[in-house]
Amino acid sequence: MPRLQNKVSLITGAAQGIGLATARKFAQEGAIVIVCDVKPDAVNAAVEQCQALGAQAVGYLMDVTQRAMVDAVVDKVKERFGRIDVLVNNAGITQDARLQKMTLEQFDRVIDVNLRGVFHCAQAVSDIMVAQGQGVILNASSVVGIYGNFGQTNYAASKFGVIGFTKTWSRELGPKGVRVNAVAPGFIATPILSTVPDQVMKEMEARVPLKRLGQPEEIANVYAFLASDEASYVNGAVIEVSGGMSV
């Protein structure tokens, strides 16, 4: 039997990269996939991909920084399906600059999406999951959220913060049957790296013991495990999926 059979799973930033790979993986594992993103055409395309894999899937336009929009989507999902079993807080952005050059707009935008957005979504589903007596919240951190990275003051702060959320919520919600975990990807081949020069990409690969970038599907596989009952005793964990780059 598929590992996520009929689990109503809401995935943010699900129209590309790791989010899309996660939506597809969840579809293959039997989940009811709720695709959320800010790009309407991409949302529709992602829903079609999930349906082509045999899953029930619906899409919603959702900006995680807009609380009213988040609440409205969560209400619609609850009304339609009666429950929400899994939230994957995947939506995230980068706006890199060194400390001395970073604008307030760059700082605020990344914190707004990567940190406040995660808070909005988790808070919006938490009452539903507690009332059910079960649920799973999965947060996207990063190896940058463990070790820091040059030129990523805002991104590192947001991803460190997500780990703080994860540790705190696992304590608060664990007794109510809700597990909360984080995944910390390393260098993954996604559209977010499309602006990185080839030479820098080669240097990135050289830093990883496996000598390659990760694939979005390799992160999605870990999300699927954590969302499943196979991970029933995993709570408050931060799982690094980086090819060993921190070794």
pLDDT digits (tens, 9 = 90+) for 159-208: 999 999 999 999 999 999 999 999 999 999 998 777 788 898 899 899 99
Cβ count near 150 (within 10 Å):
10
Residue positions annotated with a catalytic role: 155
The neighbouring-strand residues paired with 140 are: 183
Express each pLDDT in 68-102 by its tens digit.
Answer: 999 999 999 999 999 999 999 999 999 999 999 99
Indicate whether 126 pLDDT > 90.
yes
Confirm whether 1 is domain-assigned: no
Determine phi and psi for 130, rounding to 5 degrees.
Answer: -65, -40
Residue 164 resides in a domain: yes
Collapsed DSSP state (helix, strand, coil) of residue 125: helix
122 and 137 Cβ atoms separated by less than 8 Å:
yes
Q: Which domain holds residue 74?
A: 8-235
Query: In angstroms, how far is CA 223 from the centroid of its own chain?
Result: 8
Q: What's the CATH code of the domain at 46?
A: 3.40.50.720
**Residue 225 belongs to a domain:** yes
Determine, yes or no, domain membership for 87. yes
In a domain, 32, yes or no: yes
Judged by DSSP in three states, 10 sits in strand
Three-state DSSP class for residue 101: coil
Residue 50 pLDDT = 98
- Please, are residues 75 and 10 in contact by the beta-carbon 8 Å criterion? no
Q: Does pLDDT of 215 surpass 90? A: yes
Q: Which tokens go with 125?
A: 């589903």
Count up the domains in the chain and report the number: 1
pTM for this structure? 0.97
Residue 199 main-chain phi, psi, to 5 deg: -65, -40
The letter for the amino acid at 204 is: M
- Residue 237, helix vs strand vs coil: coil
Backbone angles phi, psi at 126, to 5 degrees: -65, -40
* Cα 222 to Cα 78, 93, 200, 238, distances in angstroms: 26, 21, 27, 11
